[in-house]
Structure 1
Amino acid sequence: MYKILPNYKRLQTDINTFLPNTVFFLMKICNRKSSERRTLLGFKSLIQKFNIMSLRNKVTLIGHTGKEVEIFNYENGNKQATVSIATNDYYTKANGEKVEETQWHNLVAYGKTAEVMEKYMPKGKEIAIEGKLTYRSYDDKDGVKRMITEIRVEELVLLGSK
């Protein structure tokens, strides 16, 4: 037990994973005597429950499209949309020089999301997306196997006025 000032209690967090894919954050109040420790399981206000699966493989970006959306129509009528977006990061070097660093991200969307992208996302449109990071390979025109990283868009918000 840590030494604490008189009349003060130390808060301790604990993770309990007795249900699959679920985490309960429990707040335990620890008195100076370990025999006085008690867990406040009955107070819902002290328990935050969320699905741990929602934290796995999640990407959230805000950026601008770098080109027009490309659409691929499948034989069954479904659509696939692909586009790249740019995100910018700004920092200052030790010598005081300000630097802007741009990262490009490949997006892919299917179904209704692809239709929205086709209609409402011109080049330069600011968007916010949430999706999953995916990897795939393909053979280029010379027969060389290439790997590509894409973000499969699950949520899309159109921002800006363009």
Structure 2
Amino acid sequence: MLNRVILIGNLTKDPELRYTPNGVAVTTFTLAINRPYSGANGDKETDFINIVAWRQLADLCANYLRKGRKAAVEGRLQTRSYDNKEGKKVYVTEVVADNVQFLSSREAGEGNTGYDSGQGYGSRPAAASRNNNNDQHSDPFADAGKPINISDDDLPF
């Protein structure tokens, strides 16, 4: 069986960070994703997808994502239900994030910095992995805007 979702969109509002009774961080936010075609009236249609991130990924999303910023989310689709105040069953479909790439920097410039809950920061060296406790709270945008030294020998073409 396969349940994988990859989305790129803009946040509709700032992420909401909460903690479970056991102290586990959980962040929720919504991505607005434009459809590649227009509707019958000629207007662009947009999907609004709810995203849930847990633990360290939740903290990072809450700290570095803001309304309007672009993000790429990889995760799995989840459906759950609960009874609302009127006693009606409500179904919720959301994406549980495993990997979030922050595609807009703090200065709203384009970047490619993110966090992969299994591999570490998306554009940082392999030494900055999730298991490196000294780097857990470092700024993933610390090197943004600085030149990258690449020689012609490093290029594959």
Q: Same fold (TM over 0.5)?
A: yes
> 3-state DSSP class of the match of 1:159?
strand
Aligned to 2:81: 137
Aligned to 1:80: 26
> 3-state DSSP class of the match of 1:67?
coil
Q: 1:79 is matched by which residue type in structure 2?
A: A
Structure 2 unaligned residues grouped into runs of 5+: 109-157
CA distance in 1, matches of 2:18, 2:86: 23
**C-alpha contact 1:58 1:130 (8 A) present in aligned 2:** yes
Structure 1 unaligned residues grouped into runs of 5+: 1-52
- Structure with more strand by fraction: 1
| Structure 1: 4+ residue segments shifted above 4 A | none
1:69 to 4, 11, 15: 15
Deviations for 1:17-54, whole angstroms, at most 9, x for unmatched residues? xxxxxxxxxxxxxxxxxxxxxxxxxxxxxxxxxxxx6x
CA distance in 2, matches of 1:114, 1:62: 18
2:4 to 36, 40, 58: 58
Cα-Cα RMSD:
1.9
CA distance in 2, matches of 1:102, 1:59: 17
Task: Say if 2:67 is the partner of 1:123.
Answer: yes
**C-alpha contact 1:61 1:128 (8 A) present in aligned 2:** yes
Distance change >3 Å, CA 78–CA 98, structure 1 → 2: same
Greater Cα radius of gyration, structure 1 or 2: 1
CA distance in 2, matches of 1:80, 1:144: 25
> 3-state DSSP class of the match of 1:77?
coil
**C-alpha contact 1:90 1:99 (8 A) present in aligned 2:** no
Q: TM-score of the superposition, structure 1-length normalised?
A: 0.60
Percent of aligned pairs with the same amino acid: 37
Aligned length: 106
Q: 1:102 is matched by which residue type in structure 2?
A: T
